[in-house]
Amino acid sequence: MEQGRAREGVRPPCTPAAYGDALRVVRVPEQARGEHTHSEPPAPLAVRPPARPPAAPPTAPPVAPPVARAVQRHSVRGQILEALRAALVDGELAPGQVYSAPALGARFGVSATPVREAMQQLAIEGAVEVVPNRGFRVSERGPRELAELAEVRALIEVPVMLRLARTVPAGRWSALRPLAEATVAAAAVGDRASYAETDRAFHRAVLALSGNEQLVAVADDLHRRSQWPLVSHPATRRAELLADAAEHTALLDALIAQDTAVVQSLVREHFAGAGG
């Protein structure tokens, strides 16, 4: 606008039309940049609507979009992470095989970025290994690793459950009945991914009664790792899931009855079985 005045050499009078242009300049600042032509006389910058002082420049809009994008991206990454975990439990991602982020992204209908971020989390958990310039290899596990995980879980959980069996009222154990029944429902239809989630949910709820959040977190991590399929046994059979789920309900009954001998026996058998 200032360049337009220098070329014309004459400041146009403040006519009604010019005053109307000034209102438009104040209300919509974007129109004041590069949209005036020589056929439209520029409005004096000194003119302002007398009864309407200019509003303060908005500050919220520039901040809001990045927050929305971050939430959406986190949500996509979380969904992909859960989908990959389910694929690991189901054996869809085979041990020893290498998978690239772009290929998995195309499978899930997303870009490679959230897949790569989810795979990095799985690498931290030990489910996959990073293969430079290729992707991620699903970790190969054998019976010895599964047995070691079961032993560590038993060392942590058995003493806690025995203590809880002597101190927790029966009513609080009864409140966990729906979680035990959820494992039975998932096992009945052979849904390994759903069974893995409900199985861990039941154990988390039991251990949470101890009030030790660190114990719950450590035990849940060991539990998740014990659910990954072995190289020689890629998927847990439906019959094994049903037997494992039945141990949940039997364990809950023993906890309600405060039968510590049965609790100890069931927990040890539970860990030595299918890794539930």
Question: Based on the structure, what is the number of domains in the chain?
Answer: 3
Domain boundary among 138, 168, 184: 138
Is residue 3 a part of any domain in this protein? no
Say whether both 168 and 214 belong to one domain. yes
CB 220 within 8 A of CB 155: no
Average pLDDT over residues 123-138: 92
Would you say residue 153 has pLDDT above 80?
Answer: yes
Is residue 184 a part of any domain in this protein? yes
Would you say residue 1 has pLDDT above 60?
Answer: no
Say whether both 132 and 150 belong to one domain. no
Would you say residue 244 has pLDDT above 80?
Answer: yes
| Residue from 109, 129, 132, 108 nearest 120 by CA | 129
Name the band, by pLDDT with cuts 50, 70 and 90, for residue 67. Answer: very low
Name the band, by pLDDT with cuts 50, 70 and 90, for residue 233. Answer: low
Say whether both 155 and 268 belong to one domain. yes
Q: Which segment of 2-6, 109-113, 243-247 scores lowest on mean pLDDT?
A: 2-6
Average pLDDT over residues 50-63: 47
Through-space distance between the first and last CA atoms of the chain, rounded to whole angstroms: 74
Would you say residue 34 has pLDDT above 60?
Answer: no
- Bridge partners (DSSP) listed for residue 130: 136
Who contacts 85 (Cβ-Cβ below 8 Å, separation ≥6)? 122, 127, 193, 196, 224
Is residue 4 a part of any domain in this protein? no
Say whether both 103 and 28 belong to one domain. no
| Residue from 200, 236, 198 nearest 219 by CA | 200
Full-model pTM:
0.67
Domain boundary among 94, 117, 138: 138
Name the band, by pLDDT with cuts 50, 70 and 90, for residue 79. Answer: very high
Say whether both 260 and 162 belong to one domain. yes
Who contacts 97 (Cβ-Cβ below 8 Å, separation ≥6)? 137, 138
CB 224 within 8 A of CB 200: yes
Would you say residue 271 has pLDDT above 60?
Answer: yes
Domain with 25 in it = 11-51
Which DSSP symbol is given to 32?
A: G
Say whether both 134 and 156 belong to one domain. no
Say whether both 154 and 35 belong to one domain. no
